[in-house]
Structure 1
């Protein structure tokens, strides 16, 4: 029977270093790198949401049939839902910034985008389920769905007052991707 030997002197540090890297203890992106990635993920989302919001407002006042309005609104809500998910994935891909409260900041952004995505999905499903048989009840249902969407959208906004990271504040103010 062989007696176990101690690992060679150079192997133990290499194994420990590999474990640190695999477990994510090596730190995340710097504040400027993280802010740039987040702003790159959010810029197209903001443009898409603004365009879809404008289209939805026009749709609500346009002289269309309930069937046309339903089709257009469902398509717009689905587009906003998808744009929100794309932005959420982009923020997730940015990782966790290597700053104090980095995990909390990252989670706050992700939670907010998840709630926005879900609010658009709920509005889409609600409008899909509306009957187009009578225009009055249909448009009342659309208004109720949009009112709920607005409430949920407002409630999902990220409360940055509790996330005091001077490094991230400076990064968001200074990196070109956030201007």
Structure 2
């Protein structure tokens, strides 16, 4: 359950109902592939956030701030897409509702990627002549980003069946 919670926080993730069937990927293999895709994503998002905070403190003008924020958001968007591709490439876990579970993880990362992209486009289009107006609009853009990002989260009670949750708990890549 701990690994599943870590995934929920990391992915902040959100179907097609059916069984994974015999052609699906073994739960432990699927969990390992998913966590292998998500671990660098979580680290990169944390790194980008830290760098952005440093750059924002050093920025002297709205134009510098805008450049830094757009770069941060572009990096987060690209990293989210890379994680989405990795999770999608993991296939479908061979568990009850496997296709639904796989789709939820992929959809979650798609929504996270899109949230970053929407914020990037919003900030990129902001004028920087008035610092007060610029920073107010940046604040609104980040509020929207937060809301969109939170809506992308998977409900911990719907991460998947018990055998898949057990796999996440047992696979070292998910700890």
Q: What is the TM-score of this pair, normalised by structure 1?
A: 0.82
Look up the match of 1:131: 127
Higher-Rg member (1/2): 1
CA contact (8 A) 1:101 1:163 kept: no
In structure 1, distance between residues paired with 2:139 and 2:75: 19
- Select which of 64, 69, 87 maps to 1:68: 64
- Select which of 153, 157, 169 maps to 1:157: 153
Look up the match of 2:163: 167
1:139-150 mapped onto 2 (5 Å cutoff): 139-150=135-146
Residue by residue over 1:96-152, the C-alpha shift from the partner in whole angstroms, topping out at 9 and shown as x without a partner, is: 001111111101101110000000000000000000111111111111111110111
CA drift of 1:85 comes to 0.2
In structure 2, distance between residues paired with 1:144 and 1:61: 19
In structure 2, distance between residues paired with 1:100 and 1:26: 11
Look up the match of 1:44: 40
CA drift of 1:57 comes to 3.6
CA contact (8 A) 2:159 2:165 kept: no
Residue by residue over 1:41-75, the C-alpha shift from the partner in whole angstroms, topping out at 9 and shown as x without a partner, is: 00000001112223334445444211111111101
1:109-124 mapped onto 2 (5 Å cutoff): 109-124=105-120
In structure 2, distance between residues paired with 1:51 and 1:163: 26
Question: Larger RCO: Structure 1 or Structure 2 (Cα < 8 Å, ≥ 6 residues apart)?
Answer: 2
Look up the match of 1:108: 104
CA contact (8 A) 2:22 2:94 kept: no
In structure 2, distance between residues paired with 1:105 and 1:47: 23
CA contact (8 A) 2:21 2:95 kept: no
Q: What is the TM-score of this pair, normalised by structure 2?
A: 0.84
| Alpha-carbon RMSD | 1.6
